[in-house]
């Protein structure tokens, strides 16, 4: 086999899916470099980054817990506020109803007083009118009698006795 045939064989093996790995000193050097690099990077890069990630998670969890506590506290405060508002509305409604009832009682008392006053005024007015009517009737009776005599005297042409 010639050199040309060996390179063709490797290309054919590579094209067929086969990979040739040479185990030599460069592999050992690469493994040693990897281990040294890991030994150096672990305390200088990876451990601080992991601590940073853990600290960030703790802070996020702590902030979430604080947010939950504040949310719970605000929900409780809202509930207390709504209860206080309901009590205040109820007290305001009761006070309004009480004031309204007092106003209605005062209105009824005032209306009864005014009605009594009006009735008394009407009664005294009726009594006064009745008295005036009686006086007017008495006066008219006397005047009617005199007027009748006068008419009779003129008609008869003589004086009519009383």
The answer as to whether 4 is a domain residue is no
The answer as to whether 10 is a domain residue is no
Q: What gap in Å lies between CA 44 and CA 37, rounded to an integer?
A: 11
The helix/strand/coil state of 17 is: coil
User: pLDDT (tens digit, 9 = 90+) per residue, 20-65?
Assistant: 877 888 889 999 999 999 999 999 999 999 999 999 999 999 999 9
State the pTM of this model: 0.42
- Closest Cα partner for 60 from 71, 68, 49, 72? 68
Structural domain harbouring 84: 42-156
Q: What gap in Å lies between CA 25 and CA 31, rounded to an integer?
A: 10
The answer as to whether 144 is a domain residue is yes
At residue 16, the pLDDT reads 59
Please name the residues in contact with 60: beta carbons below 8 A apart, sequence gap of 6 or more. none
User: pLDDT (tens digit, 9 = 90+) per residue, 85-109?
Assistant: 999 999 999 999 999 999 999 999 9
Please give the tally of structural domains in the chain: 1
**What's the mean pLDDT when you consider all of the chain?**
86
The answer as to whether 2 is a domain residue is no
The answer as to whether 98 is a domain residue is yes
The answer as to whether 93 is a domain residue is yes
At residue 70, the pLDDT reads 93
Q: What gap in Å lies between CA 79 and CA 74, rounded to an integer?
A: 8
The answer as to whether 133 is a domain residue is yes
Please state, as a whole number, how many other Cβ atoms lie within 10 Å of the Cβ of residue 2.
Answer: 7
The answer as to whether 1 is a domain residue is no
Average confidence (pLDDT) over 76-86: 94
Q: What gap in Å lies between CA 42 and CA 34, rounded to an integer?
A: 12
């Amino acid at each position: 086999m010639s050199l040309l045939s060996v390179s063709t064989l490797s290309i054919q093996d590579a094209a067929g899916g086969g990979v040739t790995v040479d185990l030599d000193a460069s592999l050992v050097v690469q493994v040693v470099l990897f281990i040294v690099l890991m030994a150096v990077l672990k305390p200088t890069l990876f451990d601080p980054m992991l601590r940073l990630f853990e600290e960030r998670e703790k802070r996020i969890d702590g902030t979430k817990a604080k947010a939950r506590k504040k949310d719970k506290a605000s929900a409780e405060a809202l509930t207390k506020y709504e209860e206080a508002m309901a009590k205040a509305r109820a007290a305001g409604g009761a006070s309004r109803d009480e004031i309204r009832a007092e106003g209605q009682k005062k209105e009824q008392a005032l209306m009864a007083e005014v009605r009594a006053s009006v009735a008394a005024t009407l009664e005294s007015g009726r009594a006064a009118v009745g008295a005036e009517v009686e006086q007017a009737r008495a006066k008219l009776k006397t005047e009617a009698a005199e007027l009748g005599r006068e008419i009779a005297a003129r008609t008869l042409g003589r004086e009519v006795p009383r």
